[in-house]
Amino acid sequence: MANPSLLILPGDGIGPEVMAEVRRAIDWFGAKRGLVFDVSEDLVGGCAYDAHGTPLTDETMAKAQEVDAVLLGAVGGPKYDKLDFSVKPERGLLRLRKEMDLFSNLRPAQCFDALADFSSLKREVVAGLDIMIIRELTSGVYFGEPRGIHKEGNERVGINTQRYTESEIARVARSAFELARKRSNKVCSMEKANVMESGILWRDVVQEVHDAEYPDVELSHMYADAGAMQLTRWPKQFDVIVTDNLFGDLLSDLAAMLTGSLGMLPSASLGLPMANGRPKALYEPVHGSAPDIAGQGKANPIACILSFAMALRYSFDEGANADLLEGAVQTVLADGVRTADLMGPDGGTPVSTTEMGDAILAALDAAA
């Protein structure tokens, strides 16, 4: 049988720096565990615009549709801020998500014990935290029509439209209930049904899918603003949270800080099953291109490495190898290995991106 295929899109800023460490982990699994991938690499974001005048070429888009999984670093940066909206780096990422139909974005927020004192919240609030935010990723205000900026009389008007169909809500709700059954069997759905019609529909459809297909799962509903408050007050009350595209974007950055650093959070964006049974999938860290630290060897590669672990689990059914990689990350953190973003108030000497990669490979060697 052919090796599973991976398309790597390092992107901009710290993207290539963190992805270099992922490639070493991929090579390690090939050499030491016989898990060999056919890896190809291509451009997305600002670097693709520099080379081709577009943040994602049709050729790269077609490749992404063909491979078993895509790994992406990050896109964007100040160099591209003035570009026309249609060719901004972020449009490349949004096109991938939309055309691959990656409607279910899994964003876990897990507080590793060794980092419980690094969160901006108290240790007892975050220690042992393990929640999963499922963000709808291909619809809502990110893609709704009409949109744009136009003139009305003497002034400009900016328009975006929040729009959800019943089937879009139902399919992401199903993915939340399915995942909940493998975890603590508990889902909290967040919207603003008090002020938005799309929120009313969201709440109704999630409830209907629950009652018809998942009555065994505990379901609650919360307004998203109250949800943000509850996530900082007592996050451990949650297990799976399901929410729309925009609220999910905000709530997952918020959840990142519960774990100590945005440099820790991986994500999986999943679509429908392909002919080989694997879901269409793209894996990427939640963080961006971090222009403030790009090119300095300071970036934390863990979010990107844990995104590869999610690929092992969700695309390749390699749960034991995913556990091994996640365990290696846990070991280096417990050993006190820290990139600069994980420095606590008591200081210490941070390691570089590559040194963090070295430590994770050494922990893999020790564990295998």
Q: What is the DSSP string of 191-241?
A: E-TTT-HHHHHHHHHHHHHHHHH-TTSEEEEEEHHHHHHHHHH-GGG-SEE
Smallest distance, Å, CB 132 to ligand IPM? Answer: 15
DSSP state of 2: P
User: Residue 71 forms beta bridges with which residues?
Assistant: 8, 283
Catalytic member of 249, 280, 314, 341: 249
Picking from 168, 175, 163, 165, the residue whose alpha carbon sits closest to that of residue 104 is 175
Interaction between residue 262 and ligand IPM (CB under 6 A): no
Residue nearest to Mn ion (CB): 249
Q: Which of 6, 72, 93, 129 binds ligand IPM (CB under 6 A)?
A: 93
249 as an active site residue: the answer is yes
Query: Cβ neighbours of residue 316 under 8 Å, at least 6 residues apart?
Result: 4, 35, 68, 69, 278
Interaction between residue 56 and ligand NAD (CB under 6 A): no
Interaction between residue 290 and ligand NAD (CB under 6 A): yes
236 as an active site residue: the answer is no
Interaction between residue 248 and ligand NAD (CB under 6 A): no
Q: Which stretch binds ligand NAD (CB under 6 A): 52-60, 73-81, 161-169, 237-245?
A: 73-81
Q: Which residue do the tokens 């879009």 mark?
A: 168
Q: Which of 94, 193, 209, 329 binds ligand IPM (CB under 6 A)?
A: 94
Smallest distance, Å, CB 94 to ligand IPM? Answer: 6
Binding mask 237-256 for ligand IPM (x = CB under 6 A): ------------x-------
CB 311 within 8 A of CB 304: no
314 as an active site residue: the answer is no
Distances (CA, A) of 139 to 55, 70, 240: 20, 20, 20
Picking from 36, 107, 106, the residue whose alpha carbon sits closest to that of residue 316 is 36
Give the length of the chain: 368
Task: Find which of ligand NAD, Mn ion, ligand IPM, none residue 331 binds, CB within 5 to 8 Å per kind.
Answer: none
Catalytic member of 12, 49, 192, 283: 192
Smallest distance, Å, CB 349 to ligand NAD? Answer: 16
CB 87 within 8 A of CB 39: no
DSSP state of 91: H
Task: Find which of ligand NAD, Mn ion, ligand IPM, none residue 94 binds, CB within 5 to 8 Å per kind.
Answer: ligand IPM
Chain contacts with ligand IPM (rule: CB under 6 A): 76, 90, 93-94, 249, 286, 288
For ligand NAD, the binding residues (CB under 6 A) are 14, 18, 74-77, 90, 93, 262-263, 284, 287-293, 299-300, 303, 341
